[in-house]
Amino acid sequence: MKQLNRKIVAALFLSFLTTVFIWAQESKTSFDVDGEQVNIGNLENEVKKLMKEVGIVGISLAVIDKGEEVYYNAFGKKTLEGKEEKINKETIFEACSLSKSYTVYAAYKMIDAGLLDLDKPLYKYLEYEPLKHDERYKKITARMVLSHNSGIENHKGKNDPDVLEIIANPEERFVYSGEGYTYLANVISKLVGMPIEEMMKSSVYEPLQLKRTFTTTVGEGNINYAKPHNVFGEVINKGRNKKPDLAGRIHSNAHDYAKLMTHLLVKKNLTKERLLNPATKMRNDRELFYGPGFEILYTKNDTLLIQGGNNNGFKGLACYSVNKDCGFVFFANSDRAELLGIAINKLTINSEIPEYYKGIIYTNQSPTKADEIFSLYRNKGAEETKKRLQEIFKKEKKIFTSNDIVDLVYHLKNKEYEIAKYIADEYTKSYPDPNLDFLYVRWLSK
């Protein structure tokens, strides 16, 4: 009886400590990143303002510093239809290509255990039927897959709908490949002798205590899930995956990903042999590489590791500063959330990520003039939007950029074709730009 009483007292005490810890975390008014203090109230007000201006339905945001999560919260709604249920800290999102980071961790666990060699051809672990038709697949290694220079196309069917193709010689050049990660996942599954879903749970989620991360949305994963939305705030009806897709459809939130970051990206875990080995140069005009698992950008003062995610209705971004030893991650259930990279960075770790976006053609970052037009369309409809556009093109100076025009035309073309064409016509009439000819060839060719 005494032993039972001790266990009860211990359990109650542990519960008390947990409650105190949660209360202390939630009552914090600021946190430090690289020695700089960030006011939580200001941060959250600015995030909410961004969400309203850009048109973001919900977001999950976390910040790490010196190997610890120093901030986590979630804002907005799971959906704008029906009850408009609010997002909370337990809500999960489609992790998009940030899913690959979980696969990277699983791969390095196999490497540490001596079960996987980065430079041994994968076919020696597992002959892979989808690629057997091309002898070059016997050259593909785990390092090539992780660094996206295996030559395997991103998705089967991009060229031949029935064949998974190798579109470049292995190790020849950068070819982003989700299918390569799928092959690697199957190799790891065989090495541990478990189905992929069970392997990820036992090798990654449970050891790291990722309580809100799921390989599929079967069972538990369906609980507290954010719905995807397009740029107009409309729910996108897409099925949730019931089969593993470690390249793009793991389901998680920023809190769990932040835990993963602390195990993969903090300084003590970075070695030249691993994540800072730039195996593949992505562009010839800048120091941007794809190392084993993450993009690597070398700036004048820092080294950044970056992983972006872009699925229909979901977006995500993780950025880690090697020199500052800090990072942030966010997941969102809105197509326009890809515009938030620079703004979230400025509010949190203040790294040199703006350098990453320089020179990326037709990629907008908030604030943009297009934000106003999308907001007007969402709230007032097509007629008011067209009136405002007429005012802009009649009276105001060049307030749109070519990036704004591409953004607007791309998203409006299928919903409001006449408005999309009007935007393209008026802009190119006043500011001729041969680089925008593709708008008519690809999107406005009715």
Domain ranges, ordered by start, for the chain: 96-357, 369-443
Q: What confidence category does residue 25 fall into, taking pLDDT thresholds of 50, 70 and 90?
A: low
Strand partners, 281: 289
175-196 mean pLDDT: 96
In angstroms, the CA 308 to CA 132 distance is 31
Residue 223 in this model has a pLDDT that exceeds 90:
no
Residue 291 in this model has a pLDDT that exceeds 80:
yes
Q: What confidence category does residue 105 fall into, taking pLDDT thresholds of 50, 70 and 90?
A: very high
pLDDT tens, position by position, 254-288: 999 999 999 999 988 888 778 888 779 998 778 89
84-105 mean pLDDT: 95
Reading the block at residue 289, the tokens are 């590489």
In angstroms, the CA 446 to CA 439 distance is 12
Check: CB of residue 306 under 8 Å from CB of residue 294. Answer: yes
Residue 208 in this model has a pLDDT that exceeds 50:
yes
Reading the block at residue 77, the tokens are 């709604």
Which contacts (CB < 8 Å, 24+ apart) does range 112-120 have?
Answer: 115/191, 115/192, 116/142, 116/187, 116/188, 116/191, 117/141, 117/142, 118/142, 118/143, 118/146, 118/292, 119/143
310-329 mean pLDDT: 97
Q: Which segments within 205-282 are labelled E, that is strand?
A: 251-252, 280-281
Q: What confidence category does residue 13 fall into, taking pLDDT thresholds of 50, 70 and 90?
A: low
Return the higher-pLDDT residue of 84 and 71: 71
Q: Considering the entire predicted model, what is its pTM?
A: 0.91
Residue 7 in this model has a pLDDT that exceeds 80:
no
226-234 mean pLDDT: 95
Arch. (CATH architecture) of 96-357: 3-Layer(aba) Sandwich (3.40)
**Class of residue 261 by CB neighbours under 10 A (exposed 0-12, middle 13-18, buried 19+):** buried
In angstroms, the CA 347 to CA 277 distance is 29
* Predicted local distance difference test score (pLDDT) of residue 18: 47
168-179 mean pLDDT: 96
How distant, in Å, are the alpha carbons of 108, 120, 188, 210, 271 from that of 113?
A: 8, 15, 12, 21, 17
In angstroms, the CA 309 to CA 228 distance is 14
Reading the block at residue 93, the tokens are 């999102």
Q: What confidence category does residue 21 fall into, taking pLDDT thresholds of 50, 70 and 90?
A: very low
Q: What is the mean pLDDT of the chain?
A: 91
Orientation of helix 99-112 relative to helix 178-192, angle to 10°? 40
* Predicted local distance difference test score (pLDDT) of residue 16: 54
In angstroms, the CA 98 to CA 197 distance is 17
* Predicted local distance difference test score (pLDDT) of residue 362: 73
Residue 10 in this model has a pLDDT that exceeds 70:
no
Check: CB of residue 173 under 8 Å from CB of residue 284. Answer: no
pLDDT tens, position by position, 337-394: 999 999 999 999 999 999 999 877 777 899 899 999 999 999 999 999 999 999 999 9
In angstroms, the CA 439 to CA 196 distance is 42
In angstroms, the CA 385 to CA 423 distance is 11
Q: What confidence category does residue 396 fall into, taking pLDDT thresholds of 50, 70 and 90?
A: confident
